[in-house]
Structure 1
Amino acid sequence: MGKLLCDPTAVAETFQTSSPTVTWREPNAATLEAVDLVDQTLTAAAGTTWDDVIGLEDQQRRHLSKLHAKGVLWKHPSEHGSSVVFRLSHGGDVSTDGNCLFTASQKAMAREVDARDLRKRTVKRFLEDLGSAKEEERQMINEVIKNMYSPDLRNGWGVHVVQEVKLLAKKDERVALDSAIEELVQLGMQRELVAESIYKERCIPVNDGSSWAKYMSISGSPDDEYDIVTLQYTEEGLLSVDENREGRAAAFGDDIAIECLATEFNREIYVVQAHGSDAMVDEDNCVFFLPHCPRSEICEPPFFLFMKGTGWCGAGADHYEPLIAHASSLVSSEKVALILGQ
Structure 2
Amino acid sequence: MGKLLCDSSAVAETTFETSSPAWRDPTNNAAVVAAAAVDLAVDQTIAVAAEATTVTGGWDDVVGLEDQQRRHLKKLYAKGVLWKLPVGDGDGGNAALSDDSSRSVVFRLSHGGEVSSDGNCLFTASQRAMSMAREMDARGLRLRTVRRFLEDFGSAAEDEKSVINDAIRHMYSPDLNNGWGIHIVQEVKLLAKKDDRSNLDSGIDELVQLGMQRPLAEESIYKERCIPVNDGASWAKYMAISGSPEDEHDIITLQYTEEGLLSVEENREGHAAAFGDDIAIECIATEFKREIFVVQAHGSDAMVDEDHCVFFLPHRPRSEICHPPFFLFMKGTGWSVAGADHYEPLIAHPSPVVVSPEKVGLVL
Does TM, scored on the shorter chain, surpass 0.5? yes
8 Å contact 1:266–1:294 — kept in the other structure? yes
2:56 is aligned with 1:32: no
Query: Contact between 1:6 and 1:314, CA under 8 Å: does it hold in 2?
Result: no
Q: Which residue is equivalent to 2:95?
A: none
Q: Percent identity?
A: 73
Residue range with higher mean Cα deviation, 331-340 or 313-322: 313-322
**What per-residue deviation string (whole Å, max 9, x for no partner) do you get for residues 56-84 of structure 1?**
00000000010001000000012456110
TM-score by length of 2: 0.88
Alignment check: 8 A CA contact 1:46 1:92 kept: no
Deviations 1:73-107 (A, max 9, x none): 00001245611001111000011111000000011
CA gap of 1:330–1:26, structure 2 versus 1, over 3 A, is closer
Please say if residues 88 and 323 of structure 1, whose CA atoms lie closer than 8 Å, have aligned partners that are also in contact: yes
Q: Does structure 2 retain, via aligned residues, the 8 Å contact 1:19–1:133?
A: no
C-alpha separation in 2, matches of 1:217 and 1:246: 17
Q: Which residue of 2 aligns with 1:330?
A: 354
- The structure 2 residue matched to 1:288, chosen from 311, 314, 322, is 311
**Counterpart residue number, 1:57:** 66
Q: Compare 11-20 and 119-128 and name the one that shifted more.
A: 11-20
Q: How does 1:1-342 map to 2 (within 5 A)?
A: 1-6=1-6, 10-11=15-16, 12-15=19-22, 17-18=24-25, 31-36=38-43, 38-44=44-50, 45=52, 49-78=58-87, 79=98, 80=100, 82-111=103-132, 112=134, 113-328=136-351, 329-340=353-364
| Cα distance change of structure 1 residues 6 and 19 upon mapping to structure 2, 3 Å threshold | closer
Distance 2:148 2:38 in 1: 21
Distance in 2 between residues matched to 1:140 and 1:187, nearest whole Å = 42
In the aligned structure 2, how far is the partner of 1:179 from the partner of 1:20?
A: 54
- In structure 1, runs of 5+ residues without a counterpart are none
The answer to whether the Cα contact below 8 Å between 1:14 and 1:137 also exists between their aligned partners in 2 is: no
Which AA in structure 2 matches 1:110? S
Counterpart code for 2:77: H
Structure 1 residues 194, 25: CA separation in 2 closer, same or farther (over 3 Å shift)? farther
CA distance in 2, matches of 1:16, 1:308: 29
In 1, Cα distance between the equivalents of 2:332 and 2:322?
30
For residues 82 and 20 of structure 1, the distance between their equivalents in structure 2, rounded to whole angstroms, comes to 21
Aligned pair count reads 337
Question: How far off its partner does 1:188 sit?
Answer: 2.2
- Alignment TM-score, normalising by the size of structure 1: 0.93
Does the CA-based 8 Å contact 1:14-1:140 persist in structure 2?
Answer: no
Q: Which runs of 4+ in 1 moved over 6 A?
A: 24-27
Q: Deviation at 1:16? A: 5.7
CA deviation string 1:14-49 (max 9, x = no partner):
33642679xx9999x96323343x431122237861
1:209/1:25 Cα in 2 relative to 1: closer, same or farther (>3 Å)?
Answer: farther
C-alpha distance in 2 between matches for 1:276 and 1:263: 31
SS of 2:321 mapped into structure 1? coil
Contact 2:23–2:153 at 8 Å: present in 1 too? no
Aligned residues: CA RMSD: 2.2
Contact 1:165 1:230 in 2 (8 A): yes
Closer/same/farther in 2, CA of residues 46 and 201 from structure 1, 3 Å limit = farther
Preserved CA contact (<8 Å) 2:21 2:318: no
Residues 306 and 255 (structure 1), Cα distance of their counterparts in 2 relative to 1, 3 Å cut: same
Compared with structure 1, are the counterparts of its residues 14 and 35 closer, same or farther at alpha carbon in structure 2 (3 Å cutoff)? closer
* Amino acid paired to 1:14: P
CA distance in 2 between counterparts of 1:190 and 1:86 reads 57
